[in-house]
Chain A
């Protein structure tokens, strides 16, 4: 593997207000990287800097050895941005043909329609008459038109229905298998788990986690032990269990912990009147909101 995207101490501030702090990371060829973070975390700013649309205030970005603004880079990347409406009063076919013409080695129309699920009817439609989901497909097709080595997708599935989203991620996987490097942002965590090989978590413009989705999950996701009890809840009862959070709702007590085995041992040793004990693993979504919440608090 070789490094294809290098981000070195990159920061961006808008009129004195910092949007991205001090980002440093490298992306290897063929990686599928999810940029994850709450709204206003600096994801879009980061993508725009990677694309050379915004000039970093500090630091440097290098894409396959070159400035992101160079023509050589532009010929190798495909981009889906938020808030881009496709040119109107043209048909889908016309705009795809035009954009294919911008690149030295474009994808064929057949490949484009196959990867994006655009059918003959929508190809002949005017872009302004398309539904939200179809528009996203066209944007995806535009991103793929130049047969890119690198794809940058900023919230690509916003506005897509469930079927469209499924086709989209299937194609992304197919492209990843061919060795395309992909960087995307999304709000849907299931998409991260499905497609990403690596997650970069950002908050307040800083990188707070970097790892595979599984690793992150293991590291972040708490186990949840819950049971019913008639005893009146007293905080001191549950001390020394290694609980990171305790919630009481009537008779039901839910304890979040990093080590459920240990917690259960201690719990049974206390010899309390408890019933219906269940242990479950949290979702990445919970972990994610916990993480961003704790960042918020600190």
Chain B
């Protein structure tokens, strides 16, 4: 038999083309970070830089305290991932599988969080953080980040939990396992693909978040990486090359993390489907 790509050239052509188009921004961003304003906008917006302006990285590095910002991003993001995933997975299990009167209402209530525009609740939210005495602590980012990621994570987990056959709980019940045991040792392993996927999603959301961080954090020692961009955007001019360098520095960890977890997702997916067969 001839290989599949030979039999379906269009399909493969489309797939590869799409993949290249998707990976191009990574290349573009790195080139961008090594160019001058002139090259970025006029002479050479899309190709490799003509001279590698490594000094952009020097400027970026010297403009703000990269290690501190970086560490803050790591702390805030990790806490957000752990917090929102654990809360969401518990909540969605209850509304997807357990039986109580208001499960439907609880789900709709939670969905609303997906479409609350952050910009408009900024002032009430900031006041809330102050009243909780969280202003200018890691908590003033972690608490809102966890809360705002709950809706999305809950909905994804809900979908996965709904797809699991009820027989699993039935047999576990007959075996005499408690509901907690069933949840932790049977249900959680099954939704591993969803967990791995959501780790990536929530990580990205928290890592790249800008508007809340801008308004809620003013202490230099608590600032996260996206706020580093502020150092390059003037009222009129912007040092785009240095900004590109800052963005590259901020993006590399997410790309690496994604590469690691993406394999995890793939492997988990294969295991996950076997359970159901």
**Same assembly:** no
On B, residues with C-beta under 8 Å from A are: none
On A, residues with C-beta under 8 Å from B are: none
